[in-house]
Amino acid sequence: MNLSFFDQFSSPSLLGIPLILVATLLPALLLPSPNNRWITGRLSVLQLWLINLITKQLMIPLDKKGHKWALILTSLMLFLLLTNLLGLLPYTFTPTTQLSMNLALAFPLWLATLLIGLRNQPSVSLGHLLPEGTPTPLIPALILIETTSLLIRPLALGVRLTANLTAGHLLIQLISTATTVLFSTMPAISFLTLIILFLLTILEVAVAMIQAYVFVLLLSLYLQENI
């Protein structure tokens, strides 16, 4: 029984072929397609308004030099948002519950921000490793601590997203299982757990959106430190 709860996080396959690529590309079908008209309907207006809102929010902590990253950050935000929300549907697979995928998204982008800082302002970027006014005996220890905290950033990004989504999916499955088991023996308790399941689902929708925003926002803050 314990193993079955984690079966939802294993990559589905058909005839031995992993379907994680299909699950990864599915959110792209929900994005507006190119057209010879700016507005093709109410849905396109809503999509364009959402993209504009997300772009404005992500560009707030960045100066003009960081606005070159608007397309990358907005695309990543939309991808994570749609993937997290689609993963809450029944009988679906959530690619962002895989730590390997989240690290594959976090590490290259974090490394790009770090290399930009080392290329454009090496003294300032290296200066973050040693706070000003540090006592001389503490300099080696602080450099080691700051270097470790710098290198652990992509791991923290990936683990945070994976842990929050995995915990939410497990809670939903546990409570839904309890609701089904208790329905025949204790209907009143089953109804209460159903209400809890409904509220938890609303909470998980909020968590899916917040975690996508936090992931991209932290990347934008790392970028701002290096430009």
**pLDDT of 84-94, one tens digit each?**
888 888 777 78
Instruction: Quote the pLDDT of residue 9.
Output: 62
**pLDDT of 29-69, one tens digit each?**
766 666 666 666 777 778 788 888 888 888 888 888 888 88
Across 27-36, 79-88, 156-165, 168-177, the highest mean pLDDT is recorded for 156-165
Share of the chain above pLDDT 90, in %: 22
Instruction: Quote the pLDDT of residue 107.
Output: 94
> Which three-class secondary structure state does DSSP give residue 13?
strand
Q: For residue 111, is pLDDT > 80?
A: yes
DSSP per-residue string spanning 158-188:
HHHHHHHHHHHHHHHHHHHHHHHHHTTT-HH
Contacts made by residues 73-78, CB under 8 angstroms, sequence distance 24+:
73/216, 73/219, 73/220, 76/105, 76/109, 76/215, 76/216, 76/219, 77/212, 77/213, 77/216, 78/27, 78/31, 78/51, 78/54
**What whole-number distance in Å separates Cα of residue 72 and Cα of residue 101?**
17
Assess contact for 116 and 227: CB atoms under 8 A: yes
Taking all residues of the chain, what is their mean pLDDT, rounded to a whole number? 83
